[in-house]
Structure 1
Amino acid sequence: MNQEPTVSPLPQIEQLHTLPDADLAALSDLLVDCTEGGASVGFMSPLSIAKADAFWREVLSNVAIGERALWVARDEAGQIVGTVQVVFVQKENQPHRAELSKLLVHRSARRHGLGARLMQAAEQCARGAGKSLLVLDTATGGGAEGLYQRLGWQLCGQVPNYALWPSGGLCATTIFYKAI
């Protein structure tokens, strides 16, 4: 008797407006995982849970006042395994643009299309908010550049010595934009 292979459901992509304790813990674990995995996302290694919690609480306060949108990917068990943010607040002469920030996918959940699905949700969110131009920056050589290019983002250039890798040492950043 042949059995059909079990197909696990695609992770659920959802926008968060509140941050229950379980989601705060999962987002903090995700940020620590990515930082400890070498992602240059604004934090140095070792990253404490307390510092990660403080970061996510600040993000949520910005979500509450409409300055950001926060999207997450949940696995089949409901655990957060990815996230991305849309930053709406810009200068007065830039009401048409937003910035994508902190695309994070847990190391155990990579290479399954989560990053692309999160990016698509963020782009749709920005479009729905009346934005026509998105920008982002990413660590040069950090692994995400290919994803952005596959999704139609245009390379602007690189800035050398822009930030530090989590374990130290300077890294460049690559800047992308996308008209939506």
Structure 2
Amino acid sequence: MALTFALDPRIGPGLRDGVLALWADVSNAGGAVGFVPPVTVDDIRPEWVKHLAAMSDGRTRLLVGYDEEGAVAATVFITYNTHRLMRHWVWLYTVMVHPSHQGKGYGRDLMAAAEDAVRGFGGIDAIRLTCRGGTGVDRFYASCGYKEVGRVPGAIRVAPGDDRDDIVMLLPLV
């Protein structure tokens, strides 16, 4: 069954708890979403608060995918570039699909929904994202049409002695 997507859903306790649980589950399954396992919801909460502040300021929008039971199953944060010379593209952050739903095509559905949402914003020529090297997720993004446009070797320190590349990827919309 397909996910149902909502752009800018109403923020409340259910959404908060769903996003925090998703973020913890993805992180603890080894997902490269800003944390290294093991993490708890309480570890992630400060990052959620930062995202909430950015959403409140109008700098970031949230796209949520709900499963057939109405649970938060996927998310992506879409952030406007605030530099006056770069407002024609956006960033995607914290792209997540719950581990129990991986392998069902939901990641591709999420990326397509994000692209559709951004196309609806008007005036946006491209979507950029970064991903952690060594995870293979760059191949997934490439399969969704993104091209690698930059790489910073060893920019992400997962653990002492385990540095990963920070890969910049771009999806032109025009």
* Global fold match (TM > 0.5): yes
CA deviation map 1:47-82 (0-9, x unaligned): 231232232232122222211111111111111111
Residue 178 of structure 1 is matched in structure 2 by 171
**Residues 1:133 and 2:126 are matched in the alignment:** yes
Higher gyration radius (CA)? 1
Please give the alpha-carbon distance, in whole angstroms, between the structure 1 residues aligned to 2:166 and 2:85: 25
Aligned residues: 172
Please give the alpha-carbon distance, in whole angstroms, between the structure 1 residues aligned to 2:33 and 2:161: 13
Instruction: State the percentage of identical aligned residues.
Output: 24
Please give the alpha-carbon distance, in whole angstroms, between the structure 1 residues aligned to 2:78 and 2:110: 11
Residue ranges of structure 2 left out of the alignment (5+ in a row): none
Task: Determine which of 58, 62, 65 is the counterpart of 2:57.
Answer: 65
Q: Which has the higher contact order (CA 8 A, sep 6+)?
A: 1
1:44·1:167 contact (CA, 8 Å) conserved in 2? Answer: no
Change (3 A) 1:56 1:168: farther
Which runs of 4 or more aligned residues in structure 1 lie more than 3 Å from their structure 2 counterparts after TM superposition? none
Matched to 1:99, the amino acid is W
Please give the alpha-carbon distance, in whole angstroms, between the structure 2 residues aligned to 1:46 and 1:168: 18
Please give the alpha-carbon distance, in whole angstroms, between the structure 1 residues aligned to 2:130 and 2:58: 22
Give the CA RMSD over aligned residues: 1.9
| 1:164 Cα deviation from its structure 2 partner | 2.6
**Residues 1:102 and 2:94 are matched in the alignment:** yes
Matched to 1:146, the amino acid is R
Q: Secondary structure at the match of 1:131?
A: coil
Residue ranges of structure 1 left out of the alignment (5+ in a row): 1-8
| 1:141 Cα deviation from its structure 2 partner | 2.5
Matched to 2:90, the amino acid is A
CA deviation map 1:137-176 (0-9, x unaligned): 1111313212211111111232211113379821112211
Change (3 A) 1:29 1:166: farther
TM superposition score normalised by structure 1: 0.86
